[in-house]
Structure 1
Amino acid sequence: MNMPTQTLQSEQGDVRLSARKQPFNLLRWFSLISLAVIGTVAVALGAVSTRFVITESVQRDALLTSQFIQAIASAEVRHVSIPHVRTMGELLDPRQDRNFPDVDPLARAAARGEFLDHIEHLPDVILANIYAPDRTVIWSTNPALMGTAIHSDEDLEEAFKSRIPVSASYHDVDKSRMEQKFVTPPEYIFIENYIPLFDADGDKVTAMVEIYKEPRDLIDRMERGLLLIWLATALGGGLIYLGLYWIVRRAAILLAAQQKQLITNETFVALGEMSSAVAHSLRNPLATIRSSAELALEFDAGAARKNINDIIGQVDRMSKWVRELLQSLRPLNDEAEPVNLVAALHDSLMAFEQQIAKASIQVEFAPATTPMVLSQQVQLSQILNSVLSNALEAMDKGGTLSIRLESTDDQTVSVVVSDNGKGMTAEQRKMAFRPFFTTKQGGLGVGLVLVKRIMERFGGAVTLESREGEGTCVRLTFKLTP
């Protein structure tokens, strides 16, 4: 009762074990990991570059704005004739007018008004505020802010303490900040600049100018720059990914081909050792059987004569198998030499002349050129004989054997052998070049295997196309002699 259960559990364990031992898919894992790594690096580079462009653009604009404001302040002071007043910062706070009783209030107001008018009409300004040292707004383009004390602005505090221009960029209005009360709200991005104005000694900040700008031209340039950065990052990352993917794909294909070739070589080595031992062991018994049959044939002229001839015929067929098997397993180490392809084809057709005539097969072969190909005379004859033999055996009475030469380029030439025989199924086509697979009764299944090995040995190739009931077409591609 327990045996079937144990067997089922064992089979399930084997299935799970085989599922766990799936081969490592180099291309798939590389494509996923490399895509993640390259994508992360590309996004990081894009983000860093974007941040750098925005920061540099904002700081550059802030520097130019600060220099412009300070230049205006210096110019306006030089045009004002007011005693004891040396900088524009000393004029901006109206509450300080009482400290200068000897100065005409109208003169101070006129000088202050000229500077503020320049500030108000700066290009791209959406809000301008001026702070006294006590953080009170003493002037603003938004009258609602005048007289408001600001004590929670970190950038303002930093500008007063560091005594250097401070800038920042925003995408959204911070409603919690009292100073960001825009008459005309910004549309996309706006820049905040704090520009300090000093006393004559340059030690004390007498006023702080706050400028909110929405520079259209700068924003357009920044957008184009960011677009180019992300396009370049995406294109560069994509090219790197595709280049590495192509290299790894070629490597994976090469590794798979080498692995397949290694398995094939190991299979041939094992089959060679086994088959060579079997073949050599069969040769002597076969020779003895044939000799005995021939001897019996000389002494027996009766009814057993037909049986003895059958024995001799079967022994000859087995001997042929042994020769083909040993030949297919023999290493191919000979060097290539120029061989006349058309002459070799004519010789092979002559060898099958009787079989062609007996089967009433029509041969179509009219070469226009006589190319010289890289091969070996003996092995080329073996290739052609094997292909022609398969084609003739596939046809019944009255078939057509077509042989033509096709020149694909200056370095190769192809021999196309076609028949209108019984053809092959899709499954048979897949198995055609595997060792010991054959569709012929009494065949050994090493003919096409040997053809493929010899063609590849000399830098050529063989392909097969076939449809059941329509025929088969074998293409042999040879390298031309230089």
Structure 2
Amino acid sequence: MEHVPRVDLLQLADLGTARKPFDLLRWYAWVSLAIIFSIAVGLGLISSRFIIDESVERDALLTAQFIQSIGDAEVRHVSIPNVRSMGELLDPRMDEAMPDVDPVARRKARGEFLDHVAHLPDVLLANIYAPDRTVIWSSNPALTGDVIEADDDLERAFEYKKRVSASYHNFDDARVEQMFVTPPQQLFIENYIPLFDADGERVTAMVEIYKEPHDLIVRIEHGLLLIWLAIILGAVLVYGGLYWIMRRAARQLALQQKRLISNETFVALGEVSSAVAHSLRNPLASIRSSAELAQAFDEGPAQKNISDIIIQVDRMSHWVRQLLQSLRPLNDEAVPVDLPVALHESLQAFAMPLRRGGVELELANVPDVRVLGQPALLGQIFHSVIANALEAMDQGGRLRVEVVRQDRRYLTLRLTDTGHGMSEQQQRMAFRPFFTTKQGGLGVGLMLVKRIMERFGGSIRLSSKEGTGTSVLLSFRLVNGT
């Protein structure tokens, strides 16, 4: 049985337990969504409760002021002597305790007051309690004379001598005092309004009002709707804004990480390539010198082989120079460069190859602008792009150069050929180092163009279709757009 090394098992275990890379944007999206949603719901609930409580309390205050004002007005209206409070007039059981008070005036004041209470707007039920919790009057006559016990709201109203308001959505069948003649349809409000004696210290009667204020309910519903819409809109805007900022930051981090990896890769490749190139230069020079010497003294059939040696050595030397140039750091400072001059110089250098290749040049008017860069590097950009276009049109064709976009900061130049074109996979690989579709090519031309364009704040894009041609978009940063 073949022995499996332990290191292989450990590697397999590491692969099996390898974790996925941490997705900062996704983590932030879910966490921020949960936090913002929780805060929004909390604010919504607090605001809704505040609106409801304030509205109910305001309605209760107005009702209490109205009831107390009616009581005072009725007492003054009948001019009852020795009685200065409506609360002392409401209990019929106390009529005999005040023989000096005119019974007709007393009944008139009490009747007017109770009539006002019974006809208050939106009233479902009205009860009046004596201090012993007996119902001395009710808009539902069936409740008159009942003693109400174990009513916390009523006890609290008598104890603290303050109005007590409570809202309910469903009435409690177990509560005797909630015997509505007309049952409420939705929300109703319960108010306890204390009436005091003439000195304002002792509660002589408690008025209980059940109301279903339709206008108030509609206003509360509209207010709650506006609150929740505002909270939802605010939460969406906050989440969208923070997500956009985080997404942009994540992209910047990913771009910086990509650039850092690319720079580290280029540094490593540069060190290796420099060592290899310097090691090859001397042997190549010796081989070429020996071949030239042999070619000078040997005129026999070996001349063709010697010439092939010199050609191959020259090609390898060109590769070495191109490799070193593509991997060297781009530390040159950006200076203003005349774009039309650099473009025309490059096209002039390719005038003869274009004519020999049967390529027709169409040059649109290029505005007189200056872009950020270096004259030599800008010429190298045009040299690489034009050379690629010329090699793609080995059977002739047309090369068109035109400006497709210009604004305050950037100018975009498009070079379009009618060559073989590229597949989608080739387009994705075009800017990677050492990828080439040319026989004998090194694959660093477009990579170097991309590095130079990005070094000076520009960009390069490529679009192509097999059998149709290729378009290269070069976006240069203008000098006045810095």
TM-score by length of 1: 0.95
Match for residue 314 of structure 1? 312
Residues 130 and 208 in structure 1, CA contact (< 8 A), matched pair in contact too: yes
Match runs of 1:298-337 below 5 Å: 298-337=296-335
Distance 1:50 1:106 in 2: 50
| Offset from partner CA, 1:53-79 (integer Å, 9 cap, x none) | 111121121112112111111111122
Question: Structure 2: any 5+ residue segments left out of the alignment?
Answer: none
Distance 1:350 1:88, change over 3 A: closer
Which deviates more, 216-225 or 50-59?
216-225
Match for residue 404 of structure 1? 402
- 1:220 is displaced (CA, Å) by 2.1
Which deviates more, 193-202 or 313-322?
193-202
Match for residue 126 of structure 1? 124
Q: Say if 2:451 is the partner of 1:438.
A: no
| Offset from partner CA, 1:420-466 (integer Å, 9 cap, x none) | 21111111111111111111111111111111111112222111111
Distance 1:421 1:197, change over 3 A: same
Residues 93 and 138 in structure 1, CA contact (< 8 A), matched pair in contact too: yes
Task: Specify which of 50, 53, 56 is matched with residue 51 of structure 2.
Answer: 53
Q: What SS does structure 2 have at the residue aligned with 1:422?
A: coil
The residue type paired with residue 15 of structure 1 is L
- 1:334 is displaced (CA, Å) by 1.9
Q: Say if 2:53 is the partner of 1:14.
A: no
Distance 1:462 1:382 in 2: 14
Distance 1:49 1:336, change over 3 A: same
Residues 421 and 470 in structure 2, CA contact (< 8 A), matched pair in contact too: yes
Q: Say if 2:169 is the partner of 1:181.
A: no
Q: Say if 2:122 is the partner of 1:137.
A: no
Distance 2:59 2:148 in 1: 25
Distance 1:264 1:170 in 2: 68
Residues 77 and 88 in structure 1, CA contact (< 8 A), matched pair in contact too: yes
Q: Say if 2:137 is the partner of 1:149.
A: no
| Offset from partner CA, 1:67-107 (integer Å, 9 cap, x none) | 21111111111223445433212221112223234545444
Match for residue 30 of structure 1? 28
Residues 275 and 325 in structure 1, CA contact (< 8 A), matched pair in contact too: yes
Q: What SS does structure 2 have at the residue aligned with 1:79?
A: helix
Distance 1:151 1:340 in 2: 98
Q: What SS does structure 1 have at the residue aligned with 2:270?
A: helix
The residue type paired with residue 444 of structure 1 is L
Match for residue 271 of structure 2? 273
Question: Structure 1: any 5+ residue segments left out of the alignment?
Answer: none
Distance 1:251 1:368, change over 3 A: closer
Residues 464 and 473 in structure 1, CA contact (< 8 A), matched pair in contact too: yes
Task: Specify which of 441, 457, 460 is matched with residue 459 of structure 1.
Answer: 457
Distance 1:108 1:412, change over 3 A: closer
Distance 1:205 1:327, change over 3 A: same
Distance 1:329 1:193, change over 3 A: same
Match for residue 111 of structure 1? 109
Match runs of 1:344-363 below 5 Å: 344-363=342-361
The residue type paired with residue 381 of structure 2 is I
| Offset from partner CA, 1:280-331 (integer Å, 9 cap, x none) | 1111110100000011111111211111111000000000011011111122
- 1:202 is displaced (CA, Å) by 2.6
Match for residue 62 of structure 2? 64
Residues 87 and 200 in structure 1, CA contact (< 8 A), matched pair in contact too: yes
Residues 140 and 181 in structure 2, CA contact (< 8 A), matched pair in contact too: yes
Distance 1:389 1:287 in 2: 27
- 1:356 is displaced (CA, Å) by 2.3
Distance 1:203 1:337, change over 3 A: closer
| Offset from partner CA, 1:331-357 (integer Å, 9 cap, x none) | 222222333333323322333333323
Q: What SS does structure 2 have at the residue aligned with 1:374?
A: strand
The residue type paired with residue 213 of structure 1 is K
- 1:108 is displaced (CA, Å) by 2.7
Residues 167 and 190 in structure 2, CA contact (< 8 A), matched pair in contact too: yes
Residues 342 and 367 in structure 1, CA contact (< 8 A), matched pair in contact too: no
Q: Say if 2:234 is the partner of 1:254.
A: no
Distance 1:84 1:353, change over 3 A: closer
Distance 1:368 1:130 in 2: 95
Distance 1:366 1:60 in 2: 77
Task: Specify which of 280, 299, 319 is matched with residue 282 of structure 1.
Answer: 280
Match for residue 416 of structure 1? 414
Residues 418 and 473 in structure 1, CA contact (< 8 A), matched pair in contact too: yes
Distance 1:323 1:46 in 2: 69
Distance 2:354 2:79 in 1: 125
TM-score by length of 2: 0.95
Task: Specify which of 162, 165, 172 is matched with residue 163 of structure 2.
Answer: 165
Q: Say if 2:478 is the partner of 1:472.
A: no
Q: What SS does structure 1 have at the residue aligned with 2:166?
A: strand
Coordinate RMSD, CA, aligned: 2.0
**Matched length:** 480
Match for residue 86 of structure 1? 84
Which deviates more, 387-396 or 338-347?
338-347
Distance 2:14 2:311 in 1: 48
Distance 1:250 1:178, change over 3 A: same
Distance 1:102 1:351, change over 3 A: closer
Residues 366 and 402 in structure 2, CA contact (< 8 A), matched pair in contact too: no
Q: Say if 2:243 is the partner of 1:245.
A: yes
Name the % identity: 64
Residues 122 and 214 in structure 2, CA contact (< 8 A), matched pair in contact too: yes
- 1:133 is displaced (CA, Å) by 1.4
Which deviates more, 33-42 or 80-89?
80-89
Match for residue 221 of structure 2? 223
